[in-house]
Amino acid sequence: MLSLLGSANAAPIKDSHVKIYISSLPYLYTSHAVNGSLLRPANNERGWEYYMATSHSKISDTVYEFKLRKGVKFQDGTAFNADAVMENMKYFKKKPFLFSKINTVYDRTEKIDDYTVRFHLKEKYGTFLNDVIWIQFYTKKYLEKFGWNGKATCPNLAEAGPYGLGPYILSEGYIEGDRKTDKAVFKVNPYYFDKDLAKVETFTVYTKLDPDLALSDVVDSEGFLDIMPIPFSDVDLVRSSPYAKLVTGPSTDNIAIHINMVNGNEKLKDKNVRLALNRAIDQRQLLDYAFSGYGQIKPTLASPNFPGVKEAVKNLKAYSEVEPPKEIRQELKSILQGLELKVLTQDKFMFIWRSIDRDLRKVGVKLDFEIVDETTIFGQVLSTNGGKNTKAWDLIVWGDDDWYFNHPWAATFVYQPNSVWSTMPADPQMGKYIDAMFKEAANTPQFTEVMTKMINHVYKNAYMLVVPAPDKVVAVNKKVSYSPLPMASLPLWDIEVSADHWSVRQ
């Protein structure tokens, strides 16, 4: 039985150190351990809990009031209060993030007293609280130096330093959506308001490692790596390890495979071709073999675990569940006509492509693979809508882990017309569905109604290549306690080590 040193009501253990490899979206996973926001992600029905706020009230469809936590200091020792929120929102207004609709609906913030603020919106916006999770607050020094990023990706720190509010200070390296160092180091924040929260003194997060060597370090030894997501094919290897244990859990993550309808193969603009590609992929076999059973078959990109999606897809089946691919291969061959497609992928996703390649070869489709890193993937995706991609591609894949926290926008934002994330042609109807979705709050009948219409629309148009939704599957040092959240957040504050962990034992 694991005997934990860093239990409740205890300071971080001297010299305790946990090393983690995050191969996909590390800036999302680490952000809330370093940066403070009014709300933060949590494993509950709504997907969040209070963080720098202690309560909130919805005064009207366009006005939200938050009570701030008292006695909070930034990592440099300066005070966090309503004035700090006002200062941050001034910079946010100039360069807000661009991955939702907050950049157009946010109006202003009002100071009610030293620990109460009101956010005013221009229109009804039911997803506001999901955006609040990403409205993070920085020191005055950081704002004067960098401001808000105004990027299409979530915010994070542009350099190491005591700039945030979270329980850990980014002391070495940087991790942003479009740039990152191969390694980042996190040290416990001495000014954090809850002295008992952080249980480990130091974390090292690696963003770039040889995945095979990394896995070997977890399962065959101890000291170099403690936690890493693993390929589904390596589950048995971890189970048999004397050093590591297998930790799994449900997820709202997805694997996004874009179809380039902007400047890819002209045939991909034909809906029947896109449908044929999807119909040829046997999701049941993908789940059983490539995913080793750790996932869910689904009809569109969005995981059935999202609010509103489970109800929306109850009358939809994955294309291959409607018609077994082996029974319609001649029909699919006549539609696809020897199609040749260029694929950009990280090596970590080749376990999927091997199965997809097998299925598509049976209907006469040839795939040409180019292995690239995650930065290249995002660079090409984000430039294709404007026709500025520097690599030719037809299919591209990335790990669309749930960064909007228990809300299907994380899997539907790729359909937003004219967005840098969209690689499909203009679709005014899709724009109407998205506008309607933003107005409604999740877990309401109105929200489910909009999601049902939207999901049926993308299903009929086959805008993405669909594969199963993955579960969380992680290898963890047996002397470390860690349970993954369903979304793209790594709660460093919940991780603990035992008395015989390599970093603390004598």
pLDDT tens digit sequence for 12-21: 889 999 999 9
Query: Can you give the CATH number for the domain in which 188 is found?
Result: 3.40.190.10
The verdict on 197 and 264 lying in the same domain is: no
373 in the Ramachandran plot: left (φ > 0), alpha (ψ -120 to 50) or beta? beta
Tokens read off for 211: 């995945």
Q: What is the mean pLDDT of residues 372-383?
A: 94
Tokens read off for 354: 């091997």
Query: Can you give the CATH number for the domain in which 450 is found?
Result: 3.10.105.10
The confidence band for 1, taking pLDDT boundaries of 50, 70 and 90, is: very low
Instruction: Report yes or no on 1 lying in a domain.
Output: no
Instruction: Report yes or no on 9 lying in a domain.
Output: no
Instruction: Report yes or no on 11 lying in a domain.
Output: no
More confident residue, 438 or 98: 438
What total of structural domains would you count in the chain?
2
Mean pLDDT of the chain: 94
The verdict on 347 and 206 lying in the same domain is: no
Give the pLDDT confidence of 450-480 residue by residue, as tens digits: 999 999 999 999 999 999 999 999 999 999 9
Q: What is the mean pLDDT of residues 127-136?
A: 95
Q: CA–CA separation, 440 vs 437, rounded Å?
A: 6
Identify each DSSP E strand in 22-115 by its residue range: 36-37, 39-41, 48-50, 53-60, 63-68, 106-113
Structure confidence at residue 196 (pLDDT): 82
The verdict on 21 and 130 lying in the same domain is: yes
pTM exceeds 0.95, yes or no: no
Structure confidence at residue 253 (pLDDT): 96
Q: CA–CA separation, 55 vs 38, rounded Å?
A: 9
Q: CA–CA separation, 22 vs 172, rounded Å?
A: 16
Any residues with CB less than 8 A from the CB of 55 and at least 6 apart, and which?
A: 66, 67
The verdict on 418 and 429 lying in the same domain is: yes
Judged against a pLDDT cut of 80, whether residue 501 lies above it is answered with yes
Q: CA–CA separation, 248 vs 266, rounded Å?
A: 41
The verdict on 32 and 161 lying in the same domain is: yes
Relative to beta strand 116-121, strand 366-371 is unpaired
Instruction: Report yes or no on 337 lying in a domain.
Output: yes
Tokens read off for 469: 């939704």
The verdict on 310 and 391 lying in the same domain is: yes
Instruction: Report yes or no on 240 lying in a domain.
Output: no
Q: How many CB atoms are located within 10 Å of the residue 202 CB? A: 17
CA-wise closest residue to 302 among 414, 215, 147: 414
**Residue 427 belongs to what domain range?**
254-470
Give the pLDDT confidence of 334-345 residue by residue, as tens digits: 999 999 999 999
Judged against a pLDDT cut of 60, whether residue 114 lies above it is answered with yes
Judged against a pLDDT cut of 70, whether residue 347 lies above it is answered with yes
Q: What is the mean pLDDT of residues 349-370?
A: 97
Q: CA–CA separation, 80 vs 192, rounded Å?
A: 11
User: Residue 233 in contact with residue 222, Cβ under 8 Å?
Assistant: no
Instruction: Report yes or no on 59 lying in a domain.
Output: yes
Give the pLDDT confidence of 250-308 residue by residue, as tens digits: 999 999 999 999 999 999 999 999 999 999 999 999 999 999 999 999 999 999 999 99
The verdict on 186 and 303 lying in the same domain is: no
Q: Specify the 3-state DSSP secondary structure of 353.
A: helix
The verdict on 302 and 438 lying in the same domain is: yes
The confidence band for 11, taking pLDDT boundaries of 50, 70 and 90, is: confident
Residue 464 bridge partners (DSSP) = 258
Q: CA–CA separation, 312 vs 438, rounded Å?
A: 16
DSSP, residue by residue, 243-308: SEEEEEE----EEEEEE--SSS-GGGGSHHHHHHHHHHS-HHHIIIIISTT-EE--SSSS-TTSTT
Express the helix, strand and coil content of the chain in percent, nearest 5 each.
30, 25, 45
Structure confidence at residue 403 (pLDDT): 93
Q: Specify the 3-state DSSP secondary structure of 396.
A: strand
Q: CA–CA separation, 115 vs 55, rounded Å?
A: 11
Q: CA–CA separation, 20 vs 467, rounded Å?
A: 27
Structure confidence at residue 2 (pLDDT): 53
Judged against a pLDDT cut of 60, whether residue 8 lies above it is answered with no
Judged against a pLDDT cut of 70, whether residue 393 lies above it is answered with yes
The verdict on 456 and 491 lying in the same domain is: no
The verdict on 309 and 267 lying in the same domain is: yes
Relative to beta strand 200-206, strand 13-21 is parallel
Instruction: Report yes or no on 112 lying in a domain.
Output: yes
Instruction: Report yes or no on 492 lying in a domain.
Output: yes
User: Residue 207 in contact with residue 182, Cβ under 8 Å?
Assistant: yes
Exposure of 348 in the CB half-sphere (CA atoms within 13 A):
21
Structure confidence at residue 225 (pLDDT): 96
Residue 159 DSSP label: S
Any residues with CB less than 8 A from the CB of 289 and at least 6 apart, and which?
A: 355
Q: What is the mean pLDDT of residues 146-169?
A: 89
Angle at 189 between CA 184 and CA 190, to 5 degrees: 150
Tokens read off for 176: 């942003």
Judged against a pLDDT cut of 80, whether residue 9 lies above it is answered with no
The verdict on 491 and 398 lying in the same domain is: no
Judged against a pLDDT cut of 50, whether residue 213 lies above it is answered with yes
69 in the Ramachandran plot: left (φ > 0), alpha (ψ -120 to 50) or beta? beta
The verdict on 197 and 335 lying in the same domain is: no
